[in-house]
Structures are given as C-alpha cells and as structure tokens.
Structure 1
Amino acid sequence: MVNVSSKRVYNWYISLVAASCMVLYGYDASVFNAVQGSKHWVAYFNYPNPNTIGAINTAYTVGAVVGGFFFGGPLADCLGRRFGMATGSALVIIATFMQTFSPRGNVGCFIGGRVLIGLGQGMALTAGPIYIGELAPASIRGTIMSFWQMFYSVGSFLAYWVNYACSENPQHLGEWDWKMVVIFQLLMPILIIAQVFFIPESPRWYIQKGNQIEKARKSLNRVRNTDQEVEEEILAIREAIEFEKEAISSGYSALWKDKSVRKRMYICLILNAGQQVTGQGTLNSYSTIIYKKVFTDASQIALINALNATFGIIFTLNATWTVDRFGRKFLFIVGGIGMAICMVIVASVETQTPTINGAKSQSVGISIVFIMFLFAFFYKPSWGATTWIYTSEIFSMNVRAQAVGMCSQTQNVANSIVQQFFPTFLNNEGFYAFYMFAGINGLLAAFVWFFVPETKKVSLEEIDTLFGGANHIERGAEIIDHKGAVEHIPELDEQNKAVSANVQRV
C-alpha cells in the first residue's frame, strides 16, 4: 500500500485551489455557446444579429488578452500569486452580475461584462499555473498540473449540465432559463477567494521580493516532508534567482533579449496557439451549430454537449498517470496524430453519406458524435493538459509570470481568429472544413517531434540547460560563494551549515 504523507496531500489541496481558476475559464468558454440556444436570451437582447454575436465572443477575448498580456504578469510579480488569483476571481464575480442583470435590450452592458470577465480570467490564468509549478515537487509536477486542464472540463461540465437542465424547463423558468446558467458562474470565484489567502504563498516569490527567507521557509515547511528538502530547495532558489539578478534582465524585455528565453517563447507561443487551432476551441464555441447539421432536436444537442463535457473530465484524467511516465513530448505527438485521424474520419463520414429529409440518418449522427468524443480522448490529456504543464514549467523565475501570461493568452488570440471565419467556412464548405484541422494537427505533431525538448521530472531551476541556457543553480552558487567570500554573510553561512548538517545526518 502506498504511504502518502499529510504534506503531500496538502500539496495536492493547495494546487487544486489554484487549478480552480481553470474552472472559471471552462465555464465561461462554454456558457455563451450554451445560452445562444435560449429563445428567451435572443428575445431579451432584441434578436442580436451575427455581427453582435461575434462582438460578444470577441469582447471576452479582448479582455482576456489584455489581462493576460499586460496585467497578469506584473500583478503576480508585484503582489504575489495568491493576489493575482483573488483579483481575477473578484472581477469574474462583478462581471457575472453585470451579465445576469443587464437591462433589457442593453447588449452593451452584457458585452461590458464579457470584457471584464476576460480581464479577470486573464489575471487568474496567469497566476494559477505559476503557483502550481512553484509549489509542486518536480517528481509530481506534471501529474498535479494535469488537473489544471481537467478543471477546464469541470467548468464545461457545470455549464452544459446547468444549461441542459434549464433547457428542459423553459416554460417554468422564463428568462431565468439563461440567467440561471450565467449566474451559476459565481460559485467557483467565491470558493477561490474564500480559500486562497489561507494557502502558502510561493517561496520563490518571497525570495524574489526582498529575499524573505524566513517566509519562504515557512511556506516550504507546509509542503515538504523534511528540513533537508526545505533547506536544499531554498538554497537552489536563491542560487537561481541570484544568477538571474546578476546576469539576466527581468520584465518583458528579457523575453526577447536572451537567446534561450526567446527560443522558449517561440516554442510556447506555437504550442498555445496550436492548442486552439486543433479544432477543440472551435468545437467548444460552435458545437451547437455544428451538431445542428446532423441533429434537429435542440434538447438532444444540449445533452450531447453535456455528455461531451462529462467525458472530457474522464479523458483528462489520463494525463495524471501518463505525463510523468511517458513525458510531455510523447503525449503531444500521439495526441496530434490521433486528432488528425479523427478529423479525417469525421469529415469523410459526414460528406460521403446521403442527407435524408434535410438531416443525416441517426446512425451517421451517432457515428459523428462517437468520433468527436474520440477526438476529445486524444486532445484532453495531450494538447489540452500538457500545453499548460509545459508552458508553466520551462521559464526561469525572472520572466516566468510575464511569459506564462503572454503565451497562455495566445490561445485566445488564435481562438478569436478561427472563431471569426469558421462559421462562414462551415456554412460554405460543410464538414469539408474539418480536413483543415486534420492537416493542422499533423503539422503540430511534426513540430513537436523536431523542435520541442522533453522536460519530464526536471527541476524548475535546472530546466534552462535544455534550451541552451546556463544552469542557474550552478552559476548562482558561484555568485553566492563569491559574495560570501568577499562579504562574509552570516545568514548564508548558517544556511549552508544547516544544509550540510542535514546531508550528513542522512
């Protein structure tokens, strides 16, 4: 029987609190797709035209990009990872009330809420993965981060099942058949704010902000099993940060000045954009209009969406046992090839079968849904979960917040571009459009094979060497040793003695 320490359990708990930020994203990414099926929502806002629908989608993207690119990183660096998550959650709460209680016919207020909710999620989605990456031990970091993507599926699960329940009772609920779906989004940000300030702050942030060694030690004592682990990790963090302070600039300019960091930025920008052009982002936004081409019953489509979200949770769980066993690169490649095959099959089945009375036969519809679920089986643990894991772990401390913020929001940039043209593309070309996604997924698998290094079980402070950079621990140790010899720093002497004593006892 596996003996799991109480501190390891607590490490999981604090990581899942941070991962709850992804529930916000999953819920909101699904909720607008869901409410578009409500006749009451359409009537409430005076039958908004397609351009207005597009503006509502784009409003969220603009807010998320601005929040992630320009506010998320600086906020997480200046005030801490916990504050970034809390601020983002607070904005989601305000925005939810704005959307739910928009005056009748005032779609501008609804759009304003979409912008604000995007800002909040941009901040929360920057701070959350950084927090998990900095608190989780290297040996289980990938496993814990896989729950980040799973919680996106949890958000979709909640949104679609609430919507399905409301769509079954439109006469009793009236306008609340869509308002209920929107206001239910309050649940998760309230839970995050209620917990986030009771979990430890990142020790790396404490040391980066004023060299607060004692506070960093207290944080690590809550999640590491032995004093030796705590002291060794503190020393490694100090050495890495010291090197980054002395030899590397910080802030947004550092993302492009350093050749090693620049290489990582290119890789992560492509991976994050690739995540959204696999076809998953489009399916999440437009699955309702896609399924309308093969099904005629709106309630049936709502049920399919809800079941897809349910299986998404199960499929993402596959990442928890595969990502640290087989590695990130393996999952990216297998996922890309599997998704490409699924898209070819789905396009072939729909385009090569006859239409009867304006719709496909039931067997064709079931086949298409099955292949779409199989697509999710390949996507969720690979390009869904692993993209976030990889992005959160490959950047050094001095640029981590800014880089994660910018790279993660590339998802929204890519998704917004595809969302603009895909409805027209689908309308004109039908399911032939899915051949495009098949080709993209094949190219993404090839990109990973040739250009993406494996990061499985490599510590955050040593990961730079994989990308042609210096080992921040070794170079930082040289700087600290030199300073110690010149200045004779008592605190440093005591820390080194403590580490040596612990090692000797072991």
Structure 2
Amino acid sequence: MVTAKRAYNWYISLVAASCMVLYGYDASVFNAVQGSKHWVAYFNHPNSQIIGAINTAYTVGAVVAGFFLGGPCADYFGRRMGMTVGSALVIVATLMQTFSPRGNIGCFIGGRVIIGLGQGLALTAGPIYIGELAPQEIRGKIMSFWQMFYSVGSFIAYWVNFACSKHRAALGEWDWKMVVIFQLLVPILIIGQVFFIPETPRWYIQHGNRIDDARASLHKVRDTDEEVENEILSIREAIEFEKEAISGSYAALWKDASVRKRMYLALVLNAGQQITGQGTLNTYSTIVYKKVFTNDSTIALINALNATFGILFTMNATWTVDRFGRKFLFITGAIGMALCMLIVATVETQTPSPEGTKTVPVGISIVFLLFLFAFFYKPSWGATTWIFTSEIFSMNVRAQAVGMCSQTQNVANSIVQQFFPTFLDNCGFYAFYMFAGINALLAAFVWLWVPETKKVSLEEIDTLFGGSNHVERGAEMGIGEKEGGLQSIDDGEKTVVRMNENEVVPKSVGN
C-alpha cells in the first residue's frame, strides 16, 4: 500500500527529475531545427564548421559547470538552489536563442553556452536530490524516471517540431522559433515548485549539523519516527567518519582508493553511455534518416515517434532495475544494442539504393532496428547509468563526483559528434559497425568490473568498492550529539538511539 508520505516522496522526486527534461529537450531541439530552411536562411546558411561549433558551445558550458560549478553550488547552497539557478540560466539562454538578431549566429551560440552552464548545474543537483531522499528499496525505481524525463523532453521537442513542419509556410521564421521557445515551459515549472519541497537531510547535517531541519525534512518522506531517527544517526555517523578518517572536502576524490575506483568506473560508464550510438542519433538522426528517406515531414514524424516510444521503453527500468539489478541491465542492454547496430549496418550497406535512397521496405527495417536499439538502450545505459552514478559516492564527495562523471557524457559525445558526420559521409552506414563493437566491449567491461548496487543504503555502499562501512566506522568512533540530540549507545545487547533523556528508540539493523 502506498502511503501519503511515499506518494509525496514520488512527487518531490519527479520535480527534481524534471531537470532531465531540460537536457532531453535541448539535446533534441537543435537536431530538430536543422531541418528548417527558415533557420538555415536566418543565420546565412551556416557551414558544417559552424554547425559543429554550435554543438561544441553547449558542451563547453555543460562541462565547465559539471566539473567546476555544479558540485560546489549543490554542496554550499543546497540541492534545490542548484536546480533553481540551472533552470534560470536555461530561461535566459532560451530567450537569447529565440530572439537572436538576424544573421547573428554568435548570439545563438552564446545562448547554447549558457544553456550548457544551466544544465550542468541542474543535472548535478537533480539526481543527488533524488538519491538522498528516496528510500533505498525504491531508489532505483524512482531514479529510472530521471532518464524517462529525458525522453519526455525529446517527446515535447520533436512533436512541437513535427507540428511546426506541417505549417512552415504559415509560420515562416516561427517554425523554428516556436520549437526553441517551448524550452521555457519546464524550467518555469521547476522554479515554481522547487522551494516548496524539502532540502535533503544530508545537506542539512553537512552544513551546520542542523539536526532539527534534517529531522523535519525526513518526517515529510518517512512513515515512522524510528525510520527518521535511524537515518539521521546513520547519516551523522557516515559524515563524521568521512571527516575524521578520510577528508571532509573534495580531496577524498584522490585520497581514498575506493572513491578513486568508483570515479574510474563511473567515468567509463558515463562516457560509454554516449558512445553506444544513442548520443550520435540524438544529434544527427535527421542526417542519418536523410540517407534513407527524402521527405522532411516523414523524418520529423519518425523522430517524434522515436521520442514517444523512448518514454515507454524507459518505463521498463521502473520494474526491472530493482528486481534484476543494475549489472544485469547494463550487460543485457549492451549486447542488445550491439546486435541492433550490427544488423542495421548490414541491412543498409548490403541492399541497393535505386534512386539514391532505400526502398520503402528497407527504410522501414532500418527504422524498426533503430527503435529496437532504443528499446535496449533506454532502461539500461540510459536510465541505469544515472542511477548507478548518483548512488555510489559517499556524501563528502557526492555532488562533485556526480557533476564530473555526468558531464563526461558531454565530453565523449562532443568527440564523437566532431568526426561522425565526416565518418558518415565517407563510409555511410559502415560507421555503425563501430558502435556494434563499442557496445560489445562495454558489456565485457561491466561483466568484469562493475559490482551490483541494488537495495544497498547510500551510507553503506562503500563496502562494495573496497572501502569501509562509513556508518559502522562512525559508530565505532563514538559519534553522537551529546547536547539534547542523538546519541548512539550500547546497552550490552543492542544498539539504541537516544533521542533525549527520557526516550529511547531501538535502532534497527541496516538503514
């Protein structure tokens, strides 16, 4: 039975997950507007180098924010503030792009940089917020909506673009401006809700040991006082151990061997997410489909349908990620994607093109296979990469590590985006054999080196990577608030949490 507090936990998590709509919309909107002749004419027919610069500009902003700004902002000002500032920057950048002076591609590119900065901030704070407030038994299920909301962003962008493509003559230049300006919708909704949801208890305790604020935050999303007090004690024990035995700062990223191991794994997985072929298809699907279809409206419809099915495919993660585990989804998804890319390349390269494009049956086959690729990608490397990254780091480095690792997606994607158009022009669909090989290697990597993390509490996940259990080590150090708050004591038979002088609550095993 879903309690009112569990339902509220879902609500606040979905507010945070809306940050991913920003990413999904923006990743799709530039791909969409490239098909508009009005956009091309408005900016004086930009060449391929300018097109590449527009993509790179976004990446530069996102990487700078993810590596240098997102972590400190989420740590020092709070997870909610990270989401708010990121959303505000997206609003400013959207207006810059929509109302760029005619021919002023520099203003449009500047907007792309600022959108990258905004998303770098929001995409760091959002998954941390969800991970720190979601109960461990449903953390994976809730985080699966993070990736699903990426598909929601793509869904909105591509369907708005499809609708505009059907009325290009009537809309004129607004056929692309309408697609761009719709990006205002979600950041406005996020800002309108974010300060009515609680900050995370871990942030409150890290900043001034604000136990009462942390307790009030947890009371909104946990069903019993015992759950609240146990979780607060576990958080405090873990934080104190990290400060005393490791480092309370980002220095733990290189001082702690187990954290370094997690960084290496997360960096590879996040880079791998983008070189599966999905990142390239998000940016260049219009160009890819032009080698198969001649009608622009048909291509816009295929992109819109792909985004729609992407939502449905991602929902598979909600019932699989906590049932079968992260590792199973990674491996299954990678093998499925490798087979799809292998068959797509074979079908396209080994069939005739009588008039420069493929016959209808071949075109349909290619579309089906790329949709099947999305079926394997969305719940696995799409959703599970974010779930795994947001849950494996200890509190003292979580914000910075998540920001750095998640923006590795943009680093990898920008590298592939630079050479893929040339690769596609010179080699055609033979380029997809490369993605087949990459996915096979990713499956082997996960099989050999990635541990399973399902249903492990955030405070105790360190043991999976060769580190200490921060809760147990913190308890051994005698962590407890001596003045009117929590104190961990031992009565000889069981550990208890003392809330005050007159009330003692048993501490259950685990978190």
Flag whether TM exceeds 0.5 (same fold): yes
Q: Given the superposition, is the C-alpha separation of residues 380 and 504 from structure 1 closer, same or farther in structure 2, using an over 3 Å criterion? A: closer
Aligned partner of 2:497 in structure 1 is 496
Give the distance between the partners of 1:250 and 1:124, measured in 2 at CA. Answer: 23
Which of 74, 77, 81 is the equivalent residue of 2:75?
Answer: 77
Shift of 1:247: 1.0
**1:62 maps to amino acid:** V
Which of 7, 11, 30 is the equivalent residue of 1:9?
Answer: 7
Secondary structure class of the residue paired with 2:292: coil
Aligned partner of 2:395 in structure 1 is 397
Give the distance between the partners of 1:496 and 1:166, measured in 2 at CA. Answer: 61
CA-atom RMSD in angstroms: 1.5
Aligned counterparts, 1:439-458, within 5 A = 439-458=437-456
Give the distance between the partners of 2:478 and 2:286, measured in 1 at CA. Answer: 59
Aligned partner of 2:349 in structure 1 is 351
Which of 124, 127, 142 is the equivalent residue of 1:126?
Answer: 124
Contact 1:242 1:480 in 2 (8 A): no
Aligned counterparts, 1:214-293, within 5 A = 214-293=212-291
Contact 2:230 2:507 in 1 (8 A): no
Give the distance between the partners of 2:161 and 2:346, measured in 1 at CA. Answer: 31
**2:209 maps to amino acid:** N
Give the distance between the partners of 1:198 and 1:504, measured in 2 at CA. Answer: 31
**2:19 maps to amino acid:** C
Aligned partner of 1:51 in structure 2 is 49
Contact 1:16 1:147 in 2 (8 A): yes
Question: What is the TM-score normalised by the length of structure 1?
Answer: 0.97
Aligned counterparts, 1:103-502, within 5 A = 103-481=101-479, 489-493=483-487, 496-498=497-499, 501-502=504-505
CA deviation vs aligned residue, 1:348-397 (integer Å, no higher than 9, x gap): 00001011111110000000000000000000000000000000000000
Give the distance between the partners of 1:48 and 1:220, measured in 2 at CA. Answer: 52
Contact 1:34 1:163 in 2 (8 A): yes
Question: What is the TM-score normalised by the length of structure 2?
Answer: 0.96
CA deviation vs aligned residue, 1:120-158 (integer Å, no higher than 9, x gap): 000000000000000000000000000000000000000
Contact 1:38 1:177 in 2 (8 A): yes
Give the distance between the partners of 2:12 and 2:248, measured in 1 at CA. Answer: 28
Aligned counterparts, 1:32-71, within 5 A = 32-71=30-69
Any gaps of 5 or more consecutive residues in structure 2? 489-495
Give the distance between the partners of 1:317 and 1:224, measured in 2 at CA. Answer: 25
Contact 1:328 1:390 in 2 (8 A): yes
Shift of 1:55: 0.3
Q: Given the superposition, is the C-alpha separation of residues 463 and 110 from structure 1 closer, same or farther in structure 2, using an over 3 Å criterion? A: same
Aligned partner of 2:492 in structure 1 is none
Structure that is richer in helix per residue: 1
Shift of 1:233: 0.3
- 4+ long deviations beyond 6 Å: none
Contact 2:145 2:315 in 1 (8 A): yes
CA deviation vs aligned residue, 1:386-433 (integer Å, no higher than 9, x gap): 000000000000000000000000000000000000000000000000
Contact 1:18 1:129 in 2 (8 A): yes
Give the distance between the partners of 1:490 and 1:14, measured in 2 at CA. Answer: 30
Aligned partner of 1:30 in structure 2 is 28
Contact 1:251 1:402 in 2 (8 A): no
Give the distance between the partners of 2:175 and 2:165, measured in 1 at CA. Answer: 7
Q: Given the superposition, is the C-alpha separation of residues 505 and 440 from structure 1 closer, same or farther in structure 2, using an over 3 Å criterion? A: closer
Contact 1:202 1:219 in 2 (8 A): yes
